[in-house]
Amino acid sequence: MALGMAATAAQLSDGHMVRNVVLFSVLVYELAGPTLTKIALTAAGEIRPEGRTSARVENKPEEVA
């Protein structure tokens, strides 16, 4: 959505500046978003990331010899 708006804005007289701002904000959001979400969920007590493995590893059946 933001990329389409940036491409449309680039057609205007000052559109290149708008395009640059939109693309940079998308870049920052995509890079910082997951990290900040994890920090917020950890602070809220919704997740406990220390020492956890994925559900696949935890639920993997033990091999019987």
Strands (DSSP E) contained in the chain are none
Checking if the pLDDT of 42 tops 70, the result is yes
pLDDT tens by residue, 10-41: 787 777 888 888 889 989 999 999 999 999 99
Longest dimension (CA), the chain: 72
pTM tops 0.75: no
pLDDT at 44: 93
- The answer to whether residue 64 scores a pLDDT higher than 90 is no
Pick from 64, 58, 8, 2: nearest CA to 30: 2
Q: Using the predicted structure, report yes or no on whether residue 61 has a pLDDT greater than 70.
A: no
